[in-house]
Structure 1
Amino acid sequence: MQPRDLSATSPYVPGRGIEEVARDLGLDPAALIKLSSNENPHGSSPKAVDAVHQQADDGLHVYPKAAHTDLTEKLAAKWGVADEQIWVTPGADGAIDYLSRAMLEPGQSVLVPSPGFSYYSMSARHHHGEVSEYDLSKADGFEQTAEMALDAYDGERIIHVTSPHNPAGTEWARSEIRTLLEAVDDQTLVVVDEAYGEYSERPSSIGLLDEFDNLAVMRTFSKAYGLAGLRIGYAAIPESWADAYARVNTPFAANEVACRAALAALDDDAHIEQSVESAQWAREYMQQELDAPTFESAANFVLADVGDASRVAEESQRAGVIIRDCSSFGLPGCVRISCGTREQTKTAVETLNGILAEVTPA
C-alpha cells in the first residue's frame, strides 16, 4: 500500500546544520559558524537551562498538566488576556496545525504570502485544504500591505500574514492589520505570525484581540528565547472560540521540560535584552558592511541579494560560514544571513565579501 497523494505538498527545507555540513565537506565542526536557521547565537536563557536540569532531576515520568497550566496563566498575564485565550503548542508549527484543525473544512482555502514560510501551505494541505497565494514583491522591498493581500483575496477561510516576515524581515503596520481584519468576510480568520516579534519595536497584534474575533496571533520560544530544540510556542486567540482548543489539541503535546523552560525564560529579562540588542547591532552591521544589496529587516536576520544564491551559499559553507540559500523560497538570487554574535557576524561579512568579489561580475 501507499500513502495518499502528497504530490501537491512540497517538503519543508530547513537551513543546513553544522554536523551535516562538516560531514559533507570533511570540515571540523568547531570551525564552522552556523547562520542559516535564525537561532539565538547566545543560546538559551540560563534560567531556562537551570529549569531543564531541575525537571530532569525531579523526573520526566509525569504528564505536563501543571506545567502547561502554569505556562498558560503566565502568558495570559503577560499579554493581558484570559487564560482560555492562550493555546500552548509544540512550537509555532503546532499552532498553525491547531488553527487549521479548528477552522478548515475539507476543500476550503487558505491565502499565504509568497515568498513565505512553507508550513502554512503544508498544514492546510495536511488538513485537506486548498492554497492560494499573494505576492510580496522583491522590487518593492517585500513591502507588506492590506491591499496586496486583499487583491488576491477570494473569501479564503484563513489568511496568513507574517510580521516580521521570513525570509525578508519586513513588517505589517498595525493600521494595515486593522484594515485587513475589517475588509475580509466575518468567517475569514487572519493569522498573524509573530515568531520574530521580540526583535520588532512595533506593538503585537495581540492587542487587537479585544476588537476582533477573526484574529489569531502566533508566537514562539524558538528565536529570542533560544528554546528551538524544545519546540514550544503558543497562539493567542479570541475568547469567543477559545473552547475549541480542547477539541484540537494533541494530548500533552507541549512537553513538561519545554513548559518549565519557557516559564523560566519568561523571567529572564537580561537574556532577552541581550538577544535583541545583539540582533539589532548585527542587522545594522550587515546592512552597512556587506557588499551586496540588503533589505530592511526587523527580525534576527538579513536578506541579501547576491545574484547567485546557490553558488554564494556553497562557497560560504566551504569557507566555514553556513548561510541560507533562499532558492527554496523562490528567491534564487538571495541568501538569508542570521544574526550571530559580533565576532560571528564580522567573520561572516568578511567571508561573504571575499566570495562576492570573486563571483560577482565587474
Structure 2
Amino acid sequence: MEKLARKQVQALTPYLSARRIGGSGDVWLNANESPFGNEYNLSLNNLNRYSDCQPAELINAYASYAGVKPEQVLTSRGSDEGIELLVRAFCEAGEDAILYCPPTYGMYAISAETFGVERKTVPLTDDWQLNLPEIERNLDNVKLVFVCSPNNPTGNLVNRNDIIKLLEMTKDRAIVVMDEAYIDFCLEASTVDLLAHYPHLAILRTLSKAFALAGLRCGFTLANSELIQVLLKVIAPYPVPIPVAEIAVQALSEAGLARTKFQVLDISANRAYLQAGLSAIEGITVFDGWGNYILIEFPDGDALFKAAWNEGIILRNSPIKNCVRISAGNREECEKTLAFIRNYYQ
C-alpha cells in the first residue's frame, strides 16, 4: 500500500500531536487544552438529515463575537482544516509555495507538503519576531504567509507594526494568514480590525482553547467575503456536524461567553502562578506567554521531560533546544507540576 501512495505522502512525516505521542498519567499539560469540562444540551432529533454547509446560526454567532460580518466567516473542522483549505484553494502543486517562520505550529508545513506545495522558511529573530527583510527576499512564488500570534510554542505576540509592514509588503502578491488560535486569552492583540484595510488578510480562529471545546473540532476563518467564497469552492459539502453546530452556538451564547470569560481569567491566573513559581528556580528561564501555556528553558529539557513523563506528568517537548512547553491546567495540576520541577532541581 505504501508504494501506491503519492510520492509526497510516502515521504511525509505525520504531525506528532499530543495524542499520537501518547503517555500515561494523571496530569496532562501537553496539548494546550482547557482544564474545564462544560456541559451542553443536545436535541439529537434530526441526525437523519445532513447539516448545512455553513449553519447560519453558528456563522452569525461567531461573526457577532469576532466583530465582523457573517459573510466574512467560514466555519470548518478546527482551524487545521482552515489551513488545509487555504493551501488547496490558493496554491498550485509544484508551482507555488507557502512561507512560515519557525519555531511555530507544524501543521502549515504538513498541509503544504501533503499537496505537493513548496515550503519556504524564514526563522524568527532571536527575540521571536518576524525577520521582515528576509521574508521579502523569499516571497517569489509564495501564495500564503503564515504567522502565529500568540506563537506556538514560544507564547509571544508578534509585533503589530511588523504585521502591518508584512501586509503592506505582500499586497497583490500573497495572502497573509494570521493564526489566532490563542487570541481569546489576549483579544486586544487581535488583527481582526485590519480586515477592513487588507483584503489579502485571513485569520484563523478556534473553539478548542479558550472555549474548552478541543474535542468538538470547530474552527473559523475570518476574511473578506471574496476570499471566503473561494474557500467555499473547496470545502467538503457537510463540514459541520449538527451536534457540533448546536454545542458551538451554545458556547457562543451570552451565557456561554460569560462562562468562557471567567474561565480565561482562571487559566491566565494559573499561567501566572506557573510563571512566578518556575522563575524562582535557579537555572531555569521562563518566557512570557500570552496563550494558555508557557515555554521554559531547562539545563536539560529532554531529561526533565522524560522524568516528568515517568511521574505521570505529561508535558510537551519543544523543537527549541532544552525547552519544554507546559499548558496552564487547573490549580491542582499546576501545583503538582511546579512541586515536581522544584524537587527535581533540588
Q: TM-score, normalised by structure 2?
A: 0.90
> Quick one: structure 1 residues 132 and 8, their matched pair in 2 at CA, closer, same or farther if it must change by over 3 Å?
farther
Q: Is the 8 A contact 1:220 1:232 kept in 2?
A: yes
Distance 1:86 1:283 in 2: 31
Alignment of 1:191-270 (within 5 A): 191-267=177-253, 268-270=256-258
After superposing the two structures, state which structure 1 stretch, 189-198 or 287-296, moved more: 287-296
- Find 1:39's aligned residue among 11, 33, 42: 33
Q: Partner amino acid for 2:269? A: W
Q: Is the 8 A contact 2:72 2:222 kept in 1?
A: yes
Distance 1:335 1:312 in 2: 8
- Find 1:337's aligned residue among 326, 342, 345: 326
Shift of 1:344: 1.3
Shift of 1:110: 0.5
Distance 1:241 1:12 in 2: 27
SS at match of 2:23: helix
What are the Cα deviations for residues 63-93 of structure 1, in whole angstroms up to 9, with x where unaligned? 2218722111222233343322211100000
- Find 1:3's aligned residue among 2, 5, 10: 5
Shift of 1:145: 5.9
Q: Is the 8 A contact 1:220 1:233 kept in 2?
A: yes
- Identify the residue that residue 63 of structure 2 maps to in structure 1: 76
Distance 1:144 1:174 in 2: 10
Distance 2:133 2:53 in 1: 44
Distance 1:307 1:128 in 2: 39
Q: Is the 8 A contact 2:308 2:340 kept in 1?
A: yes
SS at match of 1:65: coil
- Identify the residue that residue 21 of structure 1 maps to in structure 2: 23
SS at match of 1:202: helix
Shift of 1:55: 3.0
Q: Is the 8 A contact 1:232 1:258 kept in 2?
A: yes
Q: Partner amino acid for 1:249? A: I
- Find 2:81's aligned residue among 83, 90, 94: 94
> Quick one: structure 1 residues 175 and 161, their matched pair in 2 at CA, closer, same or farther if it must change by over 3 Å?
same
> Quick one: structure 1 residues 95 and 235, their matched pair in 2 at CA, closer, same or farther if it must change by over 3 Å?
same
After superposing the two structures, state which structure 1 stretch, 265-274 or 147-156, moved more: 147-156
Is 1:320 matched up with 2:307? no
Percent identity over the alignment is: 29
Distance 1:318 1:180 in 2: 44
What are the Cα deviations for residues 102-129 of structure 1, in whole angstroms up to 9, with x where unaligned? 1111220100121111110111122221
Distance 1:147 1:227 in 2: 38
Q: Partner amino acid for 1:337? A: I
What are the Cα deviations for residues 6-26 of structure 1, in whole angstroms up to 9, with x where unaligned? 3553211112589x423xxxx
Distance 1:91 1:197 in 2: 15
> Quick one: structure 1 residues 347 and 78, their matched pair in 2 at CA, closer, same or farther if it must change by over 3 Å?
same
Q: Is the 8 A contact 1:144 1:171 kept in 2?
A: no
Is 1:347 matched up with 2:336? yes
Alignment of 1:107-256 (within 5 A): 107=94, 108-137=96-125, 140-144=126-130, 146-147=132-133, 149-150=135-136, 152-256=138-242
RMSD between superposed Cα atoms in Å: 2.1
Q: Is the 8 A contact 2:29 2:327 kept in 1?
A: yes
Q: Partner amino acid for 1:94? A: E
Q: Is the 8 A contact 2:54 2:240 kept in 1?
A: no
SS at match of 1:198: helix
> Which sections of structure 2, spanning at least 5 residues, go unmatched?
none
> Quick one: structure 1 residues 356 and 153, their matched pair in 2 at CA, closer, same or farther if it must change by over 3 Å?
farther
> Quick one: structure 1 residues 300 and 151, their matched pair in 2 at CA, closer, same or farther if it must change by over 3 Å?
farther
Q: Is the 8 A contact 2:171 2:200 kept in 1?
A: no
In the alignment of these two chains, the number of paired residues is 336
Is 1:289 matched up with 2:283? no
Shift of 1:192: 0.2
What are the Cα deviations for residues 208-260 of structure 1, in whole angstroms up to 9, with x where unaligned? 11111111000000001111111110101112333213311111112111111
